[in-house]
Structure 1
Amino acid sequence: MQNPGGGAPNETRNVILAIVLAVGIWGGFEFFYNGPARERLQAEQRAQAEQLQQQAATQSGASEASGEGAAPNAIVARDEALTTSAATRIAIDTQEVDGSISLQGARIDDLNLRQYRQTIDPASPEVTVLAPINTQFGHDAFFGWEVQSGETTSTLSDSRSQWTAPQGSRLTPSTPVIINFDAGDGRSIERTISIDEHFMFTITDVVRNTSGAPLQVRPFGTVRRDGLPEHYKNLPIVHQGLIGAFGPNNNLHQTRFSDADKHARDRVRGRVGEDERIQEAQGAGGWFGITEHYWLAAIIPDQNERVSTYFDSRTEDGRNDYRAAYRGQWRELPAGGEVTYTQRFFAGAKRYELLRSYQRGDDTARGQAIPRFDDAIDWGNFWFLTRPFFAMLHWFGQLFAGWGIVFNFGLAILASTVVIKALMFPLVYSSFKSMAKMRGLQPKMKEVQERYAADKQRQQQEILKLYQTEKINPVAGCLPILMQIPVFFALYKTLTVTIEMRHEPFVGWVHDLSAQDPTSIFNLFGLIPWAPPAILMIGLWPIFYGLSMLALQSLSPPPTDPVQAQIFRFLPIVFTVMFAAFPAGLVIYWTWSNSLSILQQYVIMRRQGVETQLDTFLAKRFGPKAAS
């Protein structure tokens, strides 16, 4: 005979066993297959890199010069490349960046960020944004000119042109540098490069023609990357790859590295044309480049210049060469005349306030407003949720920072949770009241289930009558959960994509709110000197979350179906394991949110005269007075 409410004992056991087996299979597959596979792949990549570094070839493809060419034929160590070319480089030195510019091609190809480290260890290396293209993880930008004489089009200056600079030139915010290139036949270029206090370069070219014949010239620029970034992680929630706002209306264009890889493979297989681009559009101004998780390298042409912008990727020597590039308008360069053109290049951290200042054009002395520049941060399709949530977090973070609190963004998460709970409270109050009434109705529902255990249809009819008599909407209790879903997504997205959360500490053992809790129950939270595999990294905050979920369940009416009741008891464990891989800031938010919900729901239930499991526990442990 079946249990009251449906579900035979064997059925209940089978459902629970199925859940346990599913989790076990997933965990075993992760531990025994995915983990070793990732380690083998990393070992192969290291071995390949070492083999390539031993090759001495440093030549680039012949067509590289115009920005159309293939990736270099060999990879050498970055430091070696910088050392051997030190005599042909101009140092870059500001409070935010250090690096150098190569006089071969006037490439901006060596840039480190002084204020950002690769790990939370302050002694770890600086974050490298740009590196010489003939090194591993090469990433650079260069700017050139094409010339047209009659029906002949050729390159006036390109990525291989040898520029000259005065001895001891050094680029700082207060000292621009001037470099020169002599193309012969009376054609020359004088380039002035300046940098602001942050990450924006301004490049002004004066193209001169002292020959006896007029010419047509047009500018071009390219941001390129040789292979994937050094610390690349394929995170579906974060866009990494080619990005830009260009075309007729400066619409946002995005191509992930994975999609660019497919384009390169399709070109090799003949599925796309040799000159077919991933994306291409024409329009005035805009910007375009290559983005990583937190860093951006982007060219900003003159906003009045009509440009043809495109994304492309090609395969050479087993590596993909990613490019975001443009060509400007043809312009008349008369004999004995000159042409002046100014463009900008951003290479650095995607800080929201900084991107917004460039987007507004606050510093008009340095350039025009850049449309949609803060879209370099991946706000996602639900930007109307992520942007306001970030704005609130950022405001609280700045407020607490002004008070001298180190863990300001952790407190900002807690404060934002209180604000969200306060805004939602009028909407969820009726839901909490409905849940309280549902819990008080449990004895009557159990009586109906026992009375009509053999007639399921009659049982459901009587339960519905009971709902109508007591004026209870059983679906209303789901409203608080449904309303939390967009909040969950907005916070998860914000914590993941914004650099403001990167390496931000919190009280205790959490040193990076954007990373998972670093502790694990399987090494007794660090007491045992053993580093568990990723699947076993279940820290204290995920456990706190599981306990808060269990406590919240104790205030909610249990499912009438025994099978569902068993599943609900198992959910805190499942969600504890799931949340262990989420950013610590997200787990802290959800734990704090559950705690506030427990307080809210308990007060409402007590006002409705409903006794909770907490009251029962207190009465048994300390007597009826303690429960009241």
Structure 2
Amino acid sequence: MKEDTRNFILFAVLAAIILLGGNFLSAKFFPHAANPPATKMVDGKSEVVAAPTGGPAVTDATRLRDLEVVRRETPRVAIQTADLQGSINLKGARIDDLTLTKYKQTIDKNSPPIRLLSPRGTKDAYFAGFGWNGDGVTVPNGDTVFTANGTTLTPNTPVTLYWDNKQGQRFALTFAVDAKYMFTVRQTVANAGPAPISLRPYALVSRSGVGTEADTWTNHIGPIGVFDKGATYDITFDNLKGKEASFLGKIWGNSAKAGENFFNSTGGWLGFGDKYFLAAVIPDHGAPVRAGFHAATGDVFQGDFTLAPRVVAPGKALVSTAKFFAGAKETNTLDRYEDRLGIQHFGKAIDWGWFEIVEKPIFKYLDWLFRMIGNFGVAIILLTVTIRTLIFPVAQRQFASMAAMKAIQPKMKAIQEKYKDDKARAQQEVMALYKAEKVNPLAGCLPTLIQIPIMYSLYKVLLLTIEMRHQPFVGWIHDLSAPDPATILNMFGYLPYHLPSFLAIGVVPVLLGVSMFFQFKLNPAPMDEAQKQVFAIMPWMLMFVMAPFAVGLQVYWITSNLWTVAQQRLLYARHPGLKEPAVKK
């Protein structure tokens, strides 16, 4: 068990180094290629390149202005729900002003709520738009001012926006919103003209800037969508700007090509995801669409879908329905939308990765514990105790196997000495000894193999799920999703200097190091002096490695270490021979 434990710890250290240093190495040693422009210059002005879908074009950034000034420039319809507050811009019929009332920007009591959407022309502009492209017909555009039949959109009061092109066609957009984060947009065109018209309904979500969160192989940040091939996390902002994937990006499976990324799909959805929030447009689940992403200069990105052309005869109307999600990536909320509205793989807006089959049950149980107890830190401790209790019988069998292995060591050494010149015969005799003594040499590996996916899955759960964001524990720990703020090397923040992440050692990482020290201390001392030195400094190395991680993950590891110490004391009492150091030959 000891060798397996040491190998597991070495694996964890190497994995942490890769997690912490992978992005740095990629940016440092594998720089991206130059970015080709997505627009061209005409008479010194930026000219927009039309989207290849036949859908809406993506426009470049404009001169930035104050948010309140921009909002007052155009007529608006207010949005008011329990979780959302904002407005619809009647100019262009855009949802471009939205805050999430349940989530604050920081843990400060007076912190403003998270702003998800902002109008074009402001910093970090982010909005959704709905409309039509047509042939031989005048359609509304970004400068069209609609007329509304109401002043406030609520879950109980939908609002319809109208516009008449004075050529016989009347365009209408009916907005409805549910109690959470889902908008439903009904797009209607009535043709009262003398001739048929051809129209292509579309929906888009536009974003300026890439944000401050890094796109990593453990958590995708940026363009995200579900098409006929399933969920894709391969498209990045760099791809859309014409950059190929980095060397490490290719290793982790980023296969998206540089430039445009479009797909033919039936239903699905697409948008932009941050760590905790998402804005995505969703066509009808049975509608064939052309969907994808593209970019313009100034770090402006757009995801959109366009329906196939439809001919509207005189006296007839064209009706299509789209949805728009703008809100927090709450696991249960996303799953409910997937189940109730039939939105394909909507739960995969959270990048669960390979171990979703383990991560989802861990999250569900952790969330249940939190709702029962009311303290997320205590819920993590109880989750740890539950997991370690479940695998305790396996640990018992592991110790029994190790005791049996140690008991037959003299016989194994005798066989190896007797057949030292015949390796094949020695191996054959050893296997016969295992069978006769009913010993399985691989039994000691099982608990380690079980813990690796559990540890990684818990890391992903604590990394990805918004449910732990800004959750307090005890004392100075006000956010379990962030590193420990009580950094010792600058006197808990009283000294006015900023520490690099690898030196920002808080109280909780120190407790982690201490717990690992006692766990290592309980193990038999290795014979080799070099090994003694390595394992003497290992707990303190891991203390520095784990310091930048979320406190919630450190709470899990401390609890697990304390459980291991208690477990080892019990099992050593049952198998005292394991505590004795190995005798040198």
Report if TM-score (shorter chain) is over 0.5: yes
Paired residues of 1:241 and 1:255 also in contact (CA < 8 A): no
Select 2:95's aligned residue among 90, 108, 121. Answer: 108
**What are the superposed Cα offsets for residues 37-90 of structure 1, whole Å, 9 maximum, x if unpaired?**
99xxxxxxxxxxxxxxxxxxx9995869952233123222323211333xx111
How far is 1:195 from its partner? 1.0
The change in CA–CA distance for 1:62 and 1:177 in structure 2 (over 3 A counts) is farther
Partner in structure 2 of residue 487 of structure 1? 454
> Which moves more between the two structures, 467-476 or 108-117?
467-476
Query: Following TM superposition, by how much is the alpha carbon of 1:264 offset from its aligned partner in structure 2, in angstroms?
Result: 6.0
Q: Which residue of 2 aligns with 1:241?
A: 222
Does residue 396 (structure 1) correspond to residue 369 (structure 2)? The answer is yes
When residues 472 and 562 of structure 1 are mapped into structure 2, their CA distance, relative to the original with a 3 A threshold, is: farther
Q: Distance in 1 between matches of 2:403 and 2:490?
A: 41
Report the alpha carbon displacement of residue 516 of structure 1 after superposing the two structures with TM: 1.0
Q: Which amino acid aligns with 2:144?
A: S
Measured in 2, the distance between the counterparts of 1:121 and 1:294 equals 18
1:115 Cα offset (Å):
0.6
Q: Distance in 2 between matches of 1:99 and 1:116?
A: 14
Kindly indicate whether residue 206 of structure 2 is the aligned counterpart of residue 217 of structure 1: no
Matched residue, 1:158: 141
AA matched with 2:221: Q
- What secondary structure sits across from 1:156 in the alignment? coil
Provide the rounded CA distance (Å) in 2 between the counterparts of 1:61 and 1:500. 41
Which of 357, 360, 365 is equivalent to 2:336? 357
- 1:512-527 correspondence runs (5 A): 512-525=479-492
Q: Does structure 2 conserve the Cα–Cα contact (< 8 Å) formed by 1:432 and 1:601?
A: no
Distance in structure 2 (CA, Å) of the matches to 1:529 and 1:320:
35
Structure 1 residue 69 and structure 2 residue 62: aligned? Answer: no
Cα separation, 2, equivalents of 1:257 and 1:590: 33
Q: Structure 1 residue 254: deviation in Å?
A: 2.4
Partner of 1:547: 514
Displacement of 1:114 in angstroms is 0.5
Residue equivalent to 2:116: 129
The Cα of 1:165 is off from its aligned counterpart by: 2.1
Q: 1:540 to 1:555 in 2, by over 3 A?
A: same
Alpha-carbon deviation of 1:531? 4.9
For residues 472 and 335 of structure 1, do their structure 2 counterparts lie closer, same or farther at Cα, with a shift above 3 Å needed?
closer
Per the alignment, in what secondary structure is the counterpart of residue 534 of structure 2?
helix
- Report the count of equivalent residues: 523
1:141 to 100, 114, 128: 128
Contact 1:437 1:608 in 2 (8 A): no
> What per-residue deviation string (whole Å, max 9, x for no partner) do you get for residues 585-625 of structure 1?
11100110111111111101012235969xxxxxxxxxxxx
Instruction: Write the distance in 2 (CA, Å) between the matches of 1:478 and 1:293.
Output: 35
Partner of 1:384: 357
Q: Any stretches of 5+ residues in structure 1 without a counterpart? A: 1-18, 39-57, 267-274, 362-367, 614-628
Unaligned runs of 5+ in 2: 1-9, 29-44, 246-256, 581-585
Q: Does 1:332 align with 2:320?
A: no
Secondary structure in structure 2 of the residue aligned to 1:347 = strand
Measure the CA separation in 1 of the matches of 2:323 and 2:47.
Answer: 26
What is the identity, as a one-letter code, of the residue corresponding to 2:58? G
- Counterpart amino acid of residue 420 in structure 1: I
**Aligned with 1:600 (options 562, 567, 575):** 567
SS in 1 for 2:165: strand
Amino acid at match of 1:118: Q
CA distance in 2, matches of 1:353, 1:331: 37
Structure 2 Cα separation of the partners of residues 535 and 155 of structure 1 = 59
Aligned to 1:188: 170
The equivalent residue for 1:535 is 502
Change (3 A) 1:155 1:428: farther
Deviation at 1:205, TM superposition (A): 2.0
Distance between the aligned counterparts of 1:234 and 1:98, measured in 2? 28
User: How many angstroms apart in 2 are the aligned matches of 1:113 and 1:533?
Assistant: 32
- Contact 2:240/2:293 (<8 A) preserved: no
- Tell me the amino acid that sits aligned with residue 575 of structure 1: L
Alignment of 1:180-329 (within 5 A): 180-229=162-211, 231-247=212-228, 251-263=230-242, 278-314=260-296, 316=297, 319-329=298-308
1:439 and 1:399, CA in 2 relative to 1: closer, same or farther beyond 3 A? Answer: farther
- Determine helix, strand or coil for the equivalent of 2:353: coil
Work out the CA distance in 2 between the residues paired with 1:571 and 1:476. Answer: 25
Q: Which residue of 2 aligns with 1:427?
A: 394
Matched-pair contact (CA < 8 Å) for 2:176–2:184: yes
Larger mean CA deviation between 492-501 and 478-487 belongs to: 478-487
- Partner of 1:304, secondary structure, is coil
Report the equivalent of 2:343. 370
Cα contact 1:59–1:74 (8 A) shared by 2: no
Counterpart residue type for residue 576 of structure 1: M
CA distance in 1 between partners of 2:538 and 2:203 (Å): 54
* 329 and 100 in structure 1: CA distance in 2 versus 1, 3 angstrom threshold: same
Structure 2 contact 203–322 (Cα < 8 Å) conserved: no
Q: What SS does the aligned partner of 1:382 have?
A: helix
Contact 1:193 1:202 survives alignment (8 Å): yes
Equivalent AA in structure 2 for residue 330 of structure 1: P
Give the C-alpha shift of residue 569 in structure 1: 1.1
Q: In 1, Cα distance between the equivalents of 2:403 and 2:173?
A: 73
Deviation at 1:473, TM superposition (A): 7.1
CA distance 1:527–1:212, change in 2 (3 Å): closer
- CA shift in 2, pair 1:212/1:511, >3 Å: same
Of residues 76-85 and 116-125 in structure 1, the stretch that sits farther from structure 2 once superposed is 76-85
Amino acid at match of 1:184: K
1:409-428 to 2 correspondences below 5 Å? 409-428=376-395
Describe the shift of the 1:550–1:373 C-alpha distance in structure 2 as closer, same or farther (beyond 3 A).
same
Question: What is the alpha-carbon root mean square deviation over aligned residues?
Answer: 3.7
The offset of 1:347, in angstroms, is 0.4
Q: Structure 1 pair 541/474, CA: closer, same or farther in 2 (3 Å)? A: farther
Paired letter, 1:80: V
- Which amino acid counterpart does residue 75 of structure 1 have in structure 2? L
- Corresponding residue for residue 609 of structure 1: 576
Counterpart amino acid of residue 184 in structure 2: T
- Give the SS at the match of 1:79: helix
Q: Check conservation: 2:58, 2:294, Cα contact below 8 A.
A: no
Q: Who is 2:67 aligned against?
A: 78
Q: 1:178 aligns with which of 160, 174, 178?
A: 160
Query: In the alignment, does 2:342 pair up with 1:342?
Result: no
The alpha-carbon distance between structure 1 residues 571 and 482, as it changes in their structure 2 partners (threshold 3 A), is farther
Match of 1:53 in 2: none
Conservation of the 8 A alpha-carbon contact between 1:66 and 1:158: no
Secondary structure, in 3 states, of the residue corresponding to 1:381?
helix
Task: Tell me, in whole angstroms, the C-alpha distance in 2 between the residues paired with 1:240 and 1:603.
Answer: 45
Query: Once the two structures are aligned, what percentage of the paired residues are identical?
Result: 35
One of 146, 151, 157 as aligned partner of 1:169: 151
Distance change >3 Å, CA 439–CA 558, structure 1 → 2: farther
Q: 1:81 is aligned with what amino acid?
A: V
Query: Any residues of structure 2 matched to 1:84-99 within 5 Å, and which?
Result: 84-85=73-74, 88-99=75-86
Higher mean C-alpha deviation, range 252-261 or range 507-516? 252-261
Aligned-residue offset at 1:330: 2.2
State the distance in 1 between where 2:404 and 2:107 align: 49
Q: For residue 353 of structure 1, report the CA deviation from its aligned partner.
A: 1.3
In 2, Cα distance between the equivalents of 1:108 and 1:280? 24
